Structure 1
Amino acid sequence: MKFIADMMLGRLARWLRLYGYDTLYGIEDDDEIIHVALREGRVILTRDSGLAERAGKLGAEVVLISSNSLEGQIDELRRFGLEFGELFPANARCPKCNGPIRPASKGEVMGKVPPAVYEKYDEFYVCTNCGQVYWPGRQWEEMVKIDRKLRGQK
Protein backbone atom coordinates (compact mmCIF):
# COMPACT_ATOMS: atom_id res chain seq x y z
CA MET A 1 0.00 0.00 0.00
CA LYS A 2 1.37 3.40 -1.03
CA PHE A 3 0.41 6.74 0.47
CA ILE A 4 0.56 10.45 -0.15
CA ALA A 5 0.21 12.64 2.94
CA ASP A 6 -0.87 16.27 2.92
CA MET A 7 1.20 19.00 4.55
CA MET A 8 -0.56 18.59 7.91
CA LEU A 9 0.75 15.06 8.37
CA GLY A 10 4.54 15.36 8.10
CA ARG A 11 5.33 13.48 11.32
CA LEU A 12 2.97 10.66 10.36
CA ALA A 13 4.56 10.48 6.89
CA ARG A 14 8.05 10.09 8.40
CA TRP A 15 6.86 7.32 10.71
CA LEU A 16 5.08 5.48 7.91
CA ARG A 17 8.36 5.55 6.00
CA LEU A 18 10.19 4.09 8.99
CA TYR A 19 7.64 1.28 9.06
CA GLY A 20 8.39 0.58 5.39
CA TYR A 21 5.41 2.27 3.74
CA ASP A 22 6.10 4.18 0.52
CA THR A 23 4.78 7.60 1.56
CA LEU A 24 5.07 10.79 -0.45
CA TYR A 25 5.02 14.07 1.44
CA GLY A 26 5.79 17.68 0.66
CA ILE A 27 3.32 18.46 -2.13
CA GLU A 28 1.46 21.61 -1.11
CA ASP A 29 -1.14 21.83 -3.89
CA ASP A 30 -4.30 19.78 -3.23
CA ASP A 31 -4.97 19.25 -6.95
CA GLU A 32 -1.46 17.87 -7.39
CA ILE A 33 -1.95 15.53 -4.40
CA ILE A 34 -5.11 14.18 -6.03
CA HIS A 35 -3.44 13.88 -9.43
CA VAL A 36 -0.44 11.97 -8.02
CA ALA A 37 -2.68 9.71 -5.93
CA LEU A 38 -4.79 8.75 -8.94
CA ARG A 39 -1.81 8.35 -11.26
CA GLU A 40 0.25 6.23 -8.85
CA GLY A 41 -2.53 4.39 -7.00
CA ARG A 42 -1.72 6.04 -3.68
CA VAL A 43 -4.05 6.43 -0.71
CA ILE A 44 -4.40 10.07 0.32
CA LEU A 45 -3.88 10.76 4.02
CA THR A 46 -5.31 14.12 5.03
CA ARG A 47 -6.78 16.11 7.88
CA ASP A 48 -8.55 18.40 5.37
CA SER A 49 -12.18 17.36 4.92
CA GLY A 50 -12.50 19.48 1.76
CA LEU A 51 -9.55 17.69 0.14
CA ALA A 52 -10.95 14.33 1.25
CA GLU A 53 -14.34 15.08 -0.27
CA ARG A 54 -12.95 16.32 -3.61
CA ALA A 55 -10.50 13.44 -3.90
CA GLY A 56 -13.18 10.87 -3.08
CA LYS A 57 -15.51 12.28 -5.76
CA LEU A 58 -12.70 11.90 -8.30
CA GLY A 59 -12.17 8.25 -7.35
CA ALA A 60 -9.14 8.50 -5.08
CA GLU A 61 -8.94 6.39 -1.96
CA VAL A 62 -8.76 8.69 1.06
CA VAL A 63 -8.28 8.33 4.79
CA LEU A 64 -9.48 11.40 6.64
CA ILE A 65 -7.38 11.62 9.81
CA SER A 66 -9.01 13.34 12.77
CA SER A 67 -6.38 13.00 15.49
CA ASN A 68 -3.69 15.59 16.17
CA SER A 69 -1.40 13.10 17.92
CA LEU A 70 0.87 10.59 16.21
CA GLU A 71 -0.45 7.83 18.47
CA GLY A 72 -4.05 8.67 17.55
CA GLN A 73 -3.18 8.85 13.85
CA ILE A 74 -1.52 5.41 13.99
CA ASP A 75 -4.64 4.03 15.73
CA GLU A 76 -6.83 5.46 12.96
CA LEU A 77 -4.65 3.78 10.33
CA ARG A 78 -4.88 0.48 12.22
CA ARG A 79 -8.67 0.73 11.98
CA PHE A 80 -8.16 1.33 8.24
CA GLY A 81 -6.35 -2.04 8.17
CA LEU A 82 -2.71 -0.98 8.25
CA GLU A 83 -0.26 -3.18 10.12
CA PHE A 84 2.76 -1.88 11.96
CA GLY A 85 5.42 -4.54 12.16
CA GLU A 86 9.11 -4.25 12.81
CA LEU A 87 10.48 -0.75 12.93
CA PHE A 88 13.56 0.50 11.11
CA PRO A 89 15.81 -0.76 9.62
CA ALA A 90 14.00 -3.87 8.37
CA ASN A 91 12.26 -2.80 5.14
CA ALA A 92 12.37 0.86 6.21
CA ARG A 93 12.34 3.83 3.91
CA CYS A 94 14.29 7.01 4.49
CA PRO A 95 12.28 9.37 6.71
CA LYS A 96 13.77 12.32 4.81
CA CYS A 97 13.25 11.36 1.16
CA ASN A 98 11.24 8.08 1.09
CA GLY A 99 14.07 6.11 -0.59
CA PRO A 100 14.75 2.49 0.41
CA ILE A 101 17.29 1.95 3.19
CA ARG A 102 19.87 -0.82 3.05
CA PRO A 103 22.61 -2.08 5.38
CA ALA A 104 26.03 -0.51 4.78
CA SER A 105 29.48 -1.70 5.77
CA LYS A 106 31.54 0.31 8.19
CA GLY A 107 34.09 0.99 5.47
CA GLU A 108 31.39 2.32 3.17
CA VAL A 109 30.45 5.08 5.62
CA MET A 110 33.99 6.16 6.47
CA GLY A 111 34.19 9.93 6.07
CA LYS A 112 30.39 10.21 5.88
CA VAL A 113 29.80 10.11 9.63
CA PRO A 114 31.57 11.93 12.47
CA PRO A 115 34.80 10.18 13.57
CA ALA A 116 33.39 9.47 17.06
CA VAL A 117 30.35 7.77 15.52
CA TYR A 118 32.57 5.74 13.19
CA GLU A 119 34.64 4.53 16.14
CA LYS A 120 31.69 3.76 18.43
CA TYR A 121 29.32 1.91 16.05
CA ASP A 122 29.61 -1.07 13.72
CA GLU A 123 26.03 -1.08 12.41
CA PHE A 124 25.13 1.38 9.66
CA TYR A 125 22.37 1.86 7.08
CA VAL A 126 22.25 4.13 4.07
CA CYS A 127 19.42 5.53 1.94
CA THR A 128 19.81 4.35 -1.63
CA ASN A 129 18.26 7.60 -2.88
CA CYS A 130 19.75 10.51 -0.89
CA GLY A 131 22.73 8.78 0.74
CA GLN A 132 21.71 9.67 4.32
CA VAL A 133 23.53 7.40 6.79
CA TYR A 134 21.82 6.00 9.89
CA TRP A 135 23.21 4.17 12.93
CA PRO A 136 21.80 2.91 16.27
CA GLY A 137 22.60 6.03 18.30
CA ARG A 138 20.59 8.15 20.72
CA GLN A 139 17.93 9.15 18.14
CA TRP A 140 17.49 5.49 17.21
CA GLU A 141 16.90 4.62 20.88
CA GLU A 142 14.26 7.35 21.12
CA MET A 143 12.55 6.01 17.98
CA VAL A 144 12.43 2.52 19.53
CA LYS A 145 10.77 3.98 22.65
CA ILE A 146 8.16 5.76 20.54
CA ASP A 147 7.63 2.60 18.46
CA ARG A 148 6.94 0.57 21.60
CA LYS A 149 4.42 3.16 22.73
CA LEU A 150 2.74 3.20 19.30
CA ARG A 151 2.48 -0.58 19.29
CA GLY A 152 1.16 -0.69 22.87
CA GLN A 153 4.28 -2.25 24.34
CA LYS A 154 6.40 -1.12 27.28
Structure 2
Amino acid sequence: MGMRRKFIADMMLGRLARWLRLYGYDTLYGVEEDGEILRIARDEERVIITRDSGLSRRAKSLGLEVILLGSNSLEGQVTELEEHGVEFGELSPASARCPKCNGPLRRASGEEVRGKVPEAVYQKYDEFYICEKCGQIYWPGRQWREMVRMAEKLKNARGG
Protein backbone atom coordinates (compact mmCIF):
# COMPACT_ATOMS: atom_id res chain seq x y z
CA MET A 1 0.00 0.00 0.00
CA GLY A 2 3.06 2.26 0.00
CA MET A 3 3.29 5.23 2.30
CA ARG A 4 0.33 5.27 4.69
CA ARG A 5 -1.43 8.54 4.06
CA LYS A 6 -2.10 11.08 6.80
CA PHE A 7 -5.28 13.10 6.81
CA ILE A 8 -6.88 16.26 8.13
CA ALA A 9 -10.68 16.23 8.18
CA ASP A 10 -12.90 19.30 8.22
CA MET A 11 -15.33 20.13 11.03
CA MET A 12 -18.24 18.29 9.37
CA LEU A 13 -16.45 14.96 9.50
CA GLY A 14 -16.02 14.07 13.18
CA ARG A 15 -17.41 10.56 12.92
CA LEU A 16 -15.34 9.80 9.85
CA ALA A 17 -12.19 11.13 11.56
CA ARG A 18 -12.74 8.77 14.52
CA TRP A 19 -13.35 5.91 12.09
CA LEU A 20 -10.08 6.59 10.24
CA ARG A 21 -8.20 6.68 13.56
CA LEU A 22 -9.63 3.31 14.55
CA TYR A 23 -8.18 1.91 11.34
CA GLY A 24 -4.79 3.31 12.22
CA TYR A 25 -4.80 6.43 10.03
CA ASP A 26 -3.15 9.52 11.51
CA THR A 27 -6.12 11.89 11.18
CA LEU A 28 -6.33 15.42 12.54
CA TYR A 29 -9.75 16.84 13.30
CA GLY A 30 -11.06 19.89 15.13
CA VAL A 31 -9.35 22.67 13.18
CA GLU A 32 -12.07 25.23 12.43
CA GLU A 33 -10.27 27.75 10.23
CA ASP A 34 -9.97 26.79 6.54
CA GLY A 35 -6.69 28.69 6.23
CA GLU A 36 -5.31 26.72 9.15
CA ILE A 37 -6.44 23.41 7.62
CA LEU A 38 -4.61 24.35 4.40
CA ARG A 39 -1.46 25.38 6.30
CA ILE A 40 -1.34 22.16 8.35
CA ALA A 41 -2.02 20.02 5.26
CA ARG A 42 0.90 21.69 3.49
CA ASP A 43 3.33 21.61 6.45
CA GLU A 44 2.55 18.03 7.51
CA GLU A 45 1.84 16.58 4.05
CA ARG A 46 -1.72 15.62 4.98
CA VAL A 47 -4.54 14.83 2.58
CA ILE A 48 -7.53 17.11 3.23
CA ILE A 49 -10.88 15.35 3.53
CA THR A 50 -13.79 17.75 3.21
CA ARG A 51 -17.41 18.15 2.17
CA ASP A 52 -16.79 21.83 1.43
CA SER A 53 -16.25 22.46 -2.30
CA GLY A 54 -14.83 25.93 -1.59
CA LEU A 55 -12.13 24.48 0.66
CA SER A 56 -11.50 21.76 -1.92
CA ARG A 57 -10.97 24.36 -4.67
CA ARG A 58 -8.58 26.39 -2.49
CA ALA A 59 -6.61 23.25 -1.64
CA LYS A 60 -6.30 22.24 -5.29
CA SER A 61 -5.20 25.75 -6.31
CA LEU A 62 -2.37 25.41 -3.75
CA GLY A 63 -1.40 22.02 -5.17
CA LEU A 64 -2.57 20.15 -2.07
CA GLU A 65 -4.11 16.70 -2.18
CA VAL A 66 -7.79 16.78 -1.31
CA ILE A 67 -10.67 14.31 -1.26
CA LEU A 68 -14.03 16.01 -1.69
CA LEU A 69 -16.84 13.89 -0.27
CA GLY A 70 -20.44 14.10 -1.43
CA SER A 71 -22.07 11.80 1.08
CA ASN A 72 -23.67 12.73 4.39
CA SER A 73 -23.59 9.23 5.85
CA LEU A 74 -20.58 7.50 7.37
CA GLU A 75 -21.23 4.49 5.11
CA GLY A 76 -21.23 6.68 2.02
CA GLN A 77 -18.10 8.55 3.12
CA VAL A 78 -16.19 5.33 3.80
CA THR A 79 -17.19 4.03 0.36
CA GLU A 80 -15.99 7.26 -1.27
CA LEU A 81 -12.66 7.04 0.56
CA GLU A 82 -12.23 3.47 -0.68
CA GLU A 83 -12.78 4.73 -4.20
CA HIS A 84 -9.83 7.06 -3.52
CA GLY A 85 -7.67 4.09 -2.56
CA VAL A 86 -8.00 4.35 1.22
CA GLU A 87 -8.01 0.82 2.59
CA PHE A 88 -9.96 -0.39 5.57
CA GLY A 89 -8.54 -3.78 6.47
CA GLU A 90 -9.01 -5.53 9.78
CA LEU A 91 -10.11 -3.47 12.73
CA SER A 92 -7.58 -4.18 15.48
CA PRO A 93 -6.73 -2.28 18.64
CA ALA A 94 -3.09 -3.17 18.06
CA SER A 95 -2.95 -0.93 14.98
CA ALA A 96 -5.59 1.67 15.91
CA ARG A 97 -5.00 5.25 17.00
CA CYS A 98 -6.91 6.89 19.82
CA PRO A 99 -10.35 7.84 18.45
CA LYS A 100 -10.46 10.74 20.94
CA CYS A 101 -7.15 12.49 20.33
CA ASN A 102 -5.39 10.64 17.45
CA GLY A 103 -2.51 9.58 19.71
CA PRO A 104 -0.79 6.22 19.14
CA LEU A 105 -2.05 3.29 21.23
CA ARG A 106 0.27 0.80 22.84
CA ARG A 107 -0.36 -2.48 24.59
CA ALA A 108 -0.52 -2.06 28.38
CA SER A 109 -0.16 -4.67 31.09
CA GLY A 110 -2.97 -5.45 33.53
CA GLU A 111 -0.75 -4.15 36.34
CA GLU A 112 -0.39 -0.84 34.55
CA VAL A 113 -4.14 -0.24 34.27
CA ARG A 114 -5.12 -1.66 37.66
CA GLY A 115 -7.11 0.94 39.60
CA LYS A 116 -7.59 2.97 36.43
CA VAL A 117 -10.32 0.74 35.01
CA PRO A 118 -13.35 -0.69 36.83
CA GLU A 119 -12.39 -3.74 38.90
CA ALA A 120 -14.83 -5.94 36.96
CA VAL A 121 -13.11 -4.94 33.71
CA TYR A 122 -9.70 -5.64 35.23
CA GLN A 123 -10.87 -9.12 36.27
CA LYS A 124 -12.54 -9.94 32.95
CA TYR A 125 -10.00 -8.76 30.34
CA ASP A 126 -6.31 -9.33 29.91
CA GLU A 127 -5.87 -7.16 26.85
CA PHE A 128 -5.52 -3.41 27.41
CA TYR A 129 -4.32 -0.53 25.27
CA ILE A 130 -3.37 2.92 26.44
CA CYS A 131 -3.14 6.14 24.44
CA GLU A 132 0.38 7.52 24.70
CA LYS A 133 -0.97 11.03 24.28
CA CYS A 134 -4.12 11.40 26.42
CA GLY A 135 -3.81 8.29 28.60
CA GLN A 136 -7.25 6.93 27.68
CA ILE A 137 -7.43 3.17 28.28
CA TYR A 138 -9.13 0.82 25.84
CA TRP A 139 -9.98 -2.87 26.03
CA PRO A 140 -11.85 -5.20 23.68
CA GLY A 141 -15.13 -4.83 25.53
CA ARG A 142 -18.61 -3.75 24.53
CA GLN A 143 -17.63 -0.58 22.66
CA TRP A 144 -14.96 -2.42 20.72
CA ARG A 145 -17.40 -5.19 19.78
CA GLU A 146 -19.89 -2.58 18.62
CA MET A 147 -17.28 -1.00 16.38
CA VAL A 148 -16.30 -4.37 14.94
CA ARG A 149 -19.99 -5.09 14.30
CA MET A 150 -20.38 -1.73 12.61
CA ALA A 151 -17.30 -2.43 10.47
CA GLU A 152 -18.77 -5.77 9.41
CA LYS A 153 -22.10 -4.11 8.64
CA LEU A 154 -20.39 -1.48 6.48
CA LYS A 155 -18.42 -4.17 4.65
CA ASN A 156 -21.52 -6.26 4.00
CA ALA A 157 -23.59 -3.26 2.95
CA ARG A 158 -20.99 -2.60 0.27
CA GLY A 159 -20.74 -6.27 -0.72
CA GLY A 160 -17.10 -6.27 0.41
- Please state which band the TM-score falls in when normalised by the shorter chain: over 0.9
What is the aligned partner in structure 1 of residue 106 from structure 2? 102
User: Structure 1 stretches of 5 or more lacking a match?
Assistant: none
What is the aligned partner in structure 2 of residue 30 from structure 1? 34
What is the aligned partner in structure 2 of residue 136 from structure 1? 140
Moved over 3 A (4+): none
What is the aligned partner in structure 2 of residue 114 from structure 1? 118
Residue 4 of structure 2 corresponds to residue 7 of structure 1 = no
After superposition, the C-alpha distances for 1:57-79 in whole angstroms (9 at most, x for unaligned) are 01111000111111110100010
**Residues of 2 paired with 1:4 and 1:151: CA distance?**
24
Q: CA deviation at 1:133?
A: 0.3
Contact residue 59 and residue 66 of structure 2 kept, 8 A: yes
Counterpart residue identity of residue 102, structure 1: R
Q: CA deviation at 1:84?
A: 0.7
What is the aligned partner in structure 2 of residue 16 from structure 1? 20
Residue 157 of structure 2 corresponds to residue 145 of structure 1 = no
User: TM-score with structure 2 length normalisation?
Assistant: 0.92
What is the aligned partner in structure 1 of residue 43 from structure 2? 39
User: Structure 2 stretches of 5 or more lacking a match?
Assistant: none
After superposition, the C-alpha distances for 1:25-74 in whole angstroms (9 at most, x for unaligned) are 00000000000001110000000111111111011110001111111101
**Residues of 2 paired with 1:150 and 1:101: CA distance?**
24
Counterpart residue identity of residue 8, structure 2: I
Contact residue 84 and residue 151 of structure 1 kept, 8 A: no
**Residues of 2 paired with 1:33 and 1:51: CA distance?**
9
User: TM-score with structure 1 length normalisation?
Assistant: 0.96
* Count of aligned pairs: 154
Counterpart residue identity of residue 31, structure 2: I
> What's the C-alpha RMSD, in Å, of the aligned pairs?
1.3
Q: CA deviation at 1:122?
A: 1.3
Contact residue 106 and residue 130 of structure 2 kept, 8 A: yes
